[in-house]
Amino acid sequence: MLVTAASRHGSTGDIAVALAQAIGIGRDVDAAVIPVGQRPDPNPFDAVVLGSAVYAGRWLEEARDYATAHAAALRARPLWLFSSGPIGAPPFPPDEPYDVAPLIQTLRPRGHAVFPGRLDKKLLSFGERAMVTAMRAPLGDFRDWAAVAAWGQQILDELAGRREGTADRVDR
Ligand SMILES: Cc1cc2nc3c(=O)[nH]c(=O)nc-3n(C[C@H](O)[C@H](O)[C@H](O)COP(=O)(O)O)c2cc1C
């Protein structure tokens, strides 16, 4: 399985690694983590997880470009998407990234998960700092490792179901 994600400040990259560990530990699935920026070819893989950090309501451009460039190969294999962004409790901002609905239509993934992210002021650019201050966004690391691991388990279960001949389904 290929786990590939776009991350500007590293927190989504960490989620991709944790996901691959949850998928790969003690099981017969090998999960490779390759940043979207390296533009990994999905064709040699049996299944793909594609994710992105969310900025200003959108996936990062490199993840959107990757999804477009490899749409046919991604659609042709079991695919899961994830977005990492909302901060705090209740999640801020509360809306799903607005380009995920068209991505789901094009790529037909089996699922889309949204995971809380991290906002660490010292990693942000000057402009980003100004923006999060203006938005009064809560600072901190809100990543939910248990939720990431549980989703990895769910992906494994769905893959196993497919191996046993269960009908394909879109889970969203
Ligand atoms: C300038 C800025 C804008 C953001 N806009 C959103 C947004 O619209 N929706 C969202 O869910 N998260 C938003 N976030 C939160 C980030 O997605 C979150 O910090 C994420 O964990 C960053 O991932 P990365 O470290 O992989 O880049 C924003 C963060 C910054 C700094």
Q: Which pLDDT tens digit goes with each residue over 47-68?
A: 999 999 999 899 999 999 999 9
pLDDT, residue 164, reads 47
Asked if the model's pLDDT at residue 32 lies above 80, the reply is yes
Give per-residue burial for 78-114: e unless 16+ CB within 10 Å, then b.
Answer: bbbbbbbbbbeeeebeeeebebbeebeeebebbbbbb
Q: Which of 47, 105, 50, 107 is nearest to 75 (CA)?
A: 107
Are residues 24 and 135 in contact, defined by beta-carbon separation less than 8 angstroms? no
Nearest-atom number in ligand 1 for the CA of 60 is: 27
pLDDT, residue 26, reads 62
3-19 mean pLDDT: 97
Q: How far is ligand 1, taken at its centre, from the CA of residue 165, in Å?
A: 39
114-129 mean pLDDT: 95
pLDDT, residue 162, reads 57
109-128 mean pLDDT: 95
Helix or strand holding residue 36 (H, E): none
Judge if the beta carbon of residue 103 lies within 6 A of ligand 1.
no
Nearest CA to ligand 1 atom 15: 85
Q: What is the DSSP letter of 56?
A: T
Give this prediction's pTM.
Answer: 0.92
pLDDT, residue 128, reads 94
Judge if the beta carbon of residue 52 lies within 6 A of ligand 1.
no
